[in-house]
Structure 1
Amino acid sequence: MVTRSALLSLGGLLALAPSVLSPVEWGPAPLTVDSLPRVALTAHRGGALEVPENSMSGLAAAYGRGTAQVLDFDTRMLRDGTLVVLHDPTLDRTTYASGPVDRIDARQWAAVRLRPRASLPGRWRSERLPTVAQVLDRFGGRTVLMLEAKDPRSLGGLSGMIHRRGLTRSVFVNSNDPAVALRAHQLGLTAQLWRSEEQMRTDRPARWARFVDLLDVDYRARDADLVRAVRSGIPRVWAHTVNTPRQRDRVLRLGCDGVISDAPGLLARTPSGAGAPVSAG
């Protein structure tokens, strides 16, 4: 599991300037999923209880703090096909604008401004929201990324962007739909599939082992459902959205090898008491 000292060491490395970090620590090639520790911590939407979700400032803060090895964000497609970073189908909750995201174009997107939640720790300013290209260009290869393709029609465009940047093993492409995960795999991407507590009651995840690289499971699922996922043969099984040490320790004991959290800073500075994981043998 990730120890506190290891995380602090990683945080020190990530505080280095990118020009130093890339050639010295990671070598000339991009950082890939194969470089992740045995138990990985993901900043969900950048760490939505600690930073403004899906914002460039939030992702940059999570990266700079070094408390998570993976940065997660959501993607939507505008009317003109531009791929942008946003969770909801509308602008209302997280910005000063309103209306459906898919009814605006890139020019209008550039005028949208983030509305930081008052409950967030620290002081955050309004800012422009990023496009997917901007996030890939800033963080791609410097850390592992996880993106959820909210619009399945965008998968071809996302694939092209990831392939052109040489990031096919550096970016998890996430969906709740097994058919989309299969398509991502067929496109040469690193496929991730997330499942809800309710879905996990009837799922047979071993059926997806040939094309899913990461199974993203709901921490609220029953013990038996989590263990079935761990024993599915899928290489990585991570739990979402884990925001307390107690939740984390339970899923690690049941055999998960990663957590996705809105509070990565809290989890990183709280030692785990999970003990030995459940055997998958």
Structure 2
Amino acid sequence: MVTRIALTGLASVASLVSLLGPTIPLEWGPGPLTVDSLPRVTYVAHRGGAREVPENSLSGLMAAYGRRTAHVLDFDTRMLSDGTLVVMHDPLLNRTTYLGGEVHKLNVREWQGVRVRPKASLPGSWRSERPPTVAQVLDLLGGRVVLMLEAKDPRSVAPLAALLRSRGLTRSVVVNSNDPALARRAHRLGLLTCLWRSAQQLRTDRPERWRSFVDVLDVDYKARDADLVRAVNSGVRRVWAHTVVTSAQRDRVLGLGCDGVITDTPGRLARAPRRAPRRGPQRGARP
């Protein structure tokens, strides 16, 4: 059941398309961007940069793209009752929209009535808008920037694979999950995979077991130094730390060997110079 709470004006998606100009960083070269084009230290805008833009919104993702403060745009996905994949983090609508109720009970027609509720604490001025479908985000941004999406619904992996294959984006989009079994399934479907782990999970994890099917290991920056270093030395090609919001947090995880940060504040970190550690472990060094 969907409970109507309030409604405000709808931001025009058409007005956002103008942001899709030639803003790809020149050093990445021409053509569709893939993970292989990412720089040595990668910045990921978590939910588009949730402390700077309305999270998981089309205007937020496109603003993050236009600002060029992150190399990867992250968003969350859920599945509606009719199989439509949409961009939403929570299982309920209540926190981030003007409606209430369970996301998975809606169909695509009912989804058209959902409107994002921007946080009052966000900088700038943001209007209410319809949250996008995954297909809309892929069609607007796929290949222009590397995307990372978290598959909140395990049933969605096969439909996601179909969407990505049909658009030629299997090397441009990373599918994220907390479940190693889901990551293995996505890998078998030919997708790039990311596995996120909490600080508590990292205490007992053996991440070297996942290196054959995980392309990115997404680690909690709050984890102990030894656990982060073990992840760095696991053999997984990329290790990114979440969810970083300050330059001190960034500098610590990069100093421990991580090669990327997932952040709610990509603009702030882009402006903050990195402090190199006095000494730090290298990949391949023993923890």
* TM-score of the superposed pair, with normalisation by structure 2: 0.89
Q: Could you tell me how far apart the structure 2 residues matched to 1:277 and 1:184 are?
A: 34
| AA at the equivalent of 2:32 | P
Q: Could you tell me how far apart the structure 1 residues matched to 2:112 and 2:19 are?
A: 28
Is 1:113–2:106 an aligned residue pair? no
* Structure 1 vs Structure 2 CA RMSD: 1.4
Q: For 1:1-281, what aligned pairs fall within 5 Å after superposition?
A: 18=20, 20=22, 26-27=29-30, 29-275=31-277, 277-281=280-284
Q: Could you tell me how far apart the structure 2 residues matched to 1:241 and 1:274 are?
A: 20
Deviations 1:120-158 (A, max 9, x none): 000000001100000000000000000000001000000
Deviations 1:140-184 (A, max 9, x none): 000000000000100000000001110111001000000000011
Report % sequence identity: 68
Q: Could you tell me how far apart the structure 2 residues matched to 1:54 and 1:19 are?
A: 21
Q: Could you tell me how far apart the structure 2 residues matched to 1:279 and 1:67 are?
A: 26
Partner of 2:8: none
- Is the contact between residue 19 and residue 66 of structure 2 (CA under 8 Å) also seen in structure 1? no
Q: Could you tell me how far apart the structure 2 residues matched to 1:280 and 1:121 are?
A: 38
- Is the contact between residue 205 and residue 229 of structure 1 (CA under 8 Å) also seen in structure 2? yes
- Is the contact between residue 46 and residue 71 of structure 1 (CA under 8 Å) also seen in structure 2? yes
Relative to structure 1, the CA distance from residue 116 to residue 19 in structure 2 (aligned partners, 3 Å threshold; closer, same or farther) is closer
Deviations 1:75-116 (A, max 9, x none): 000011000000000000000000000011000001100100
Unmatched tracts of structure 2, length 5 or more: 1-17
Q: Which moved more, 1:240-249 or 1:269-278?
A: 269-278
For residue 33 of structure 2, give the secondary structure of its aligned residue in structure 1. Answer: coil
- Is the contact between residue 43 and residue 72 of structure 1 (CA under 8 Å) also seen in structure 2? yes
Unmatched tracts of structure 1, length 5 or more: 1-15
For residue 204 of structure 2, give the secondary structure of its aligned residue in structure 1. Answer: coil
- Is the contact between residue 61 and residue 73 of structure 2 (CA under 8 Å) also seen in structure 1? yes
For residue 148 of structure 1, give the secondary structure of its aligned residue in structure 2. Answer: strand
- Is the contact between residue 219 and residue 239 of structure 1 (CA under 8 Å) also seen in structure 2? yes
Cα deviation for residue 278 of structure 1 reads 1.2
For residue 194 of structure 2, give the secondary structure of its aligned residue in structure 1. Answer: strand
Relative to structure 1, the CA distance from residue 21 to residue 249 in structure 2 (aligned partners, 3 Å threshold; closer, same or farther) is closer
| AA at the equivalent of 1:190 | L
Q: Could you tell me how far apart the structure 2 residues matched to 1:17 and 1:115 are?
A: 22
- Is the contact between residue 250 and residue 274 of structure 1 (CA under 8 Å) also seen in structure 2? no
- Is the contact between residue 20 and residue 66 of structure 2 (CA under 8 Å) also seen in structure 1? no
Cα deviation for residue 37 of structure 1 reads 0.5
- Is the contact between residue 196 and residue 217 of structure 1 (CA under 8 Å) also seen in structure 2? yes
Deviations 1:188-238 (A, max 9, x none): 000110000110000000000011000000000000000000000000000
- Is the contact between residue 23 and residue 66 of structure 2 (CA under 8 Å) also seen in structure 1? no
Q: Could you tell me how far apart the structure 2 residues matched to 1:191 and 1:19 are?
A: 29
Q: Could you tell me how far apart the structure 1 residues matched to 2:56 and 2:21 are?
A: 25
For residue 241 of structure 1, give the secondary structure of its aligned residue in structure 2. Answer: strand
Q: Could you tell me how far apart the structure 2 residues matched to 1:265 and 1:17 are?
A: 17
- Is the contact between residue 230 and residue 237 of structure 1 (CA under 8 Å) also seen in structure 2? yes
- Is the contact between residue 19 and residue 62 of structure 2 (CA under 8 Å) also seen in structure 1? no
